[in-house]
Chain A
């Protein structure tokens, strides 16, 4: 077993030496991200802490969400016994060696393993049911790891809200490792609404035992550059995985969202729904890869990628991909589509009395709602919808310049 020192050294070395993308297919489609493991000493701790205190109070007042844990760079608070927060330096070698994300798996995982400040550990015993709300506020650099383990026949709903204390540059990096027990259900909802200068990393690796189910809903609305990777292994017979991810960006925001799903046992289900709504010069890459292994009779796998472009300069690269080792008695489909708002849809809504900006807003909201409706947690659902609506309200929905064009664009 590696010592803690060796583990960290390997992680730093992997982070420094690994390429940003190791998959040949995706090398052309990747967004660079600059992560700065700034030390806390470089930031004004007191000023930062008082901003975070104010922000967390404001968020709680506005959303009425009762947070079970608040995590920021210099302080953490947990109000629940089953949410344990430990500083990275206190993690023991056993814990590190049993991690699902190895440092040589991925450059961003290596960053997280090398520089994580905290481990948030959620351990749900057999047969228990729990719903948790976690608030993360970043000041300069907040790399954390969230380790979830559920016993059999348990049910966990987790909502994570990510914010920055300002629009200045910063790094928010979170690595999730989720072990779903037999007959257990885990729903992980995360809403990223960091400041416009932030770099955001969200990694998630999940293994699902027999008849277990895991669903994740990741919504990215903030940050300047977002890199996300989900690796889901439906390794239990009859297990089910649903990954839903949505990017909502404008100006020059960049999103690079990758999901790998594997059906490795019979009757397992894996579903990926990726969506992007982009304005300005925003760019999003949606990469979904599904692997159906041999001997997975009765399994189901589906990838759906959709993009809505609200300006001529916005850009979506959608790359759905599948590898099916066993072609009999499995169902597997993939699809991708990107377009501006449909002029016929706008005409329909306008014929019902809505003016053009209202019709546009209705179509965009409907698209977003389709993804947000996957969120089963009422608190998370409401928070996600209100953040999206707030962004929409502050956006521009200019006049329609040319209906003869193939689509409808926002004039600038």
Chain B
């Protein structure tokens, strides 16, 4: 999948948050989006997925050349888009296995036997070092912040999107967990050739990954782009490098 964002302007909570974002992510590519708090990173992620409270006022979002500005959320998911939530919700009473099975069905994924399905969940859970008993529980209910992030990665690995937007997969994780999550993202990318747009505040997770593109966002726009060297610069100088502060 090729995701193209052209001159995107969007409002959220009656505030103009995105002020002309341009971005292009192709399959297999790993893009990193960084930027200070409130710069519009999460709003951009939500707008790509079609959050109803983000209103696009100008510009377009294209998936494989097709404008998806008005496409319902589930249709975007069916095209192969996946959003890993910064703050995953808890749904008591919704069993994880049942949820994943329903989601697979909704995404028209290839049918597999229950045994194969469970084996895949277990194996993915193991590689994420998720406690096995969590799989039998309600979705994210009573999970720690780190467990919720890992559950999002588990969903990604089972649902196999074509393009994943990962909104701070590393926040709230301890050092070991950051490495585990990074390795899993690498693994999923390798297996599915999915494109990834990774939003993060910290360079730590990038120590375990090879991003091809770094974008810095500030005040609703991408103000700087480059390769991995940009991360070192941000580490040294902070986001002031964009010159807008």
Q: Identify which of residues 324-370 in chain A touch chain B, using a CB-to-CB cut-off of 8 Å.
A: 342-345, 347-348, 350-356, 358-359, 362-363, 365-370
Question: How many inter-chain contacts with C-beta < 8 Å in the A-B complex?
Answer: 76
Q: Please state if B89 and A345 are interface contacts (CB–CB under 8 Å).
A: yes
Q: Please state if B93 and A358 are interface contacts (CB–CB under 8 Å).
A: no
Contact string against B for A residues 18-33, beta-carbon threshold 8 Å, 1 for contact and 0 otherwise: 0000000000000000
Interface size class of B (residues with CB under 8 A): 20 to 34
Q: Please state if A352 and B52 are interface contacts (CB–CB under 8 Å).
A: no
Q: Please state if A347 and B73 are interface contacts (CB–CB under 8 Å).
A: yes
Residue B197 interfacial (CB < 8 Å): no
Q: Please state if A353 and B92 are interface contacts (CB–CB under 8 Å).
A: no
Residue A95 interfacial (CB < 8 Å): no
Residue A47 interfacial (CB < 8 Å): no
Contact string against B for A residues 285-299, beta-carbon threshold 8 Å, 1 for contact and 0 otherwise: 000000000000000
Residue B94 interfacial (CB < 8 Å): yes
Q: How many residues from A make CB contacts under 8 Å with B?
A: 26
Residue B3 interfacial (CB < 8 Å): no
Q: Which among A345, A363, A366 has the greatest number of chain B C-beta atoms within 10 A?
A: A366
B85 to chain A, nearest CB (A): 7
Return chain B residues, CB-CB under 8 Å to A367: 92-93
Question: Which of A345, A347, A356, A373 is close to B91, meaning CB atoms less than 8 Å apart?
Answer: A345
Return chain B residues, CB-CB under 8 Å to A359: 74
Residue A403 interfacial (CB < 8 Å): yes
Residue B188 interfacial (CB < 8 Å): no
Indicate whether A403 sits within 8 Å of B53 (C-beta atoms), given known contacts A350-B73, A352-B106, A354-B74. Answer: yes
Q: Please state if A355 and B106 are interface contacts (CB–CB under 8 Å).
A: yes
Residue of A nearest to B82 (CB): A351
Return chain A residues, CB-CB under 8 Å to B155: 352
Return chain A residues, CB-CB under 8 Å to B85: 348
Residue of A nearest to B53 (CB): A403
Question: Roughly how many angstroms separate A350 CA and B155 CA in the complex, as a whole number?
Answer: 14
Residue of B nearest to A306 (CB): B92
Return chain A residues, CB-CB under 8 Å to B72: 350, 355-356
A interface secondary structure, majority: helix
Return chain B residues, CB-CB under 8 Å to A368: 93
Return chain B residues, CB-CB under 8 Å to A403: 52-53
Residue of B nearest to A363 (CB): B91
Residue B49 interfacial (CB < 8 Å): yes
A368 to chain B, nearest CB (A): 7
Residue B97 interfacial (CB < 8 Å): no
Question: Roughly how many angstroms separate A382 CA and B155 CA in the complex, as a whole number?
Answer: 28
Question: Roughly how many angstroms separate A356 CA and B50 CA in the complex, as a whole number?
Answer: 13
Residue A1 interfacial (CB < 8 Å): no
Indicate whether A362 sits within 8 Å of B52 (C-beta atoms), given known contacts A347-B73, A352-B155. Answer: no
Return chain A residues, CB-CB under 8 Å to B144: none
Question: Which of A345, A348, A354, A356 is close to B102, meaning CB atoms less than 8 Å apart?
Answer: A354
Q: Please state if A362 and B94 are interface contacts (CB–CB under 8 Å).
A: yes
Return chain B residues, CB-CB under 8 Å to A355: 72, 74, 106
Indicate whether A354 sits within 8 Å of B103 (C-beta atoms), given known contacts A347-B52, A347-B73, A403-B52. Answer: yes
Q: List 15 A-B contacts (CB under 8 A).
A: A350-B72, A350-B74, A351-B83, A355-B72, A355-B74, A356-B74, A358-B102, A359-B74, A363-B94, A365-B93, A365-B94, A369-B94, A370-B92, A370-B138, A373-B93
Residues of B in contact with A (beta carbons under 8 Å apart): 49, 51-53, 72-74, 76-78, 82-83, 85, 88-89, 91-95, 99, 102-103, 106-107, 138, 155, 159
Residues of A in contact with B (beta carbons under 8 Å apart): 342-345, 347-348, 350-356, 358-359, 362-363, 365-370, 373, 403-404
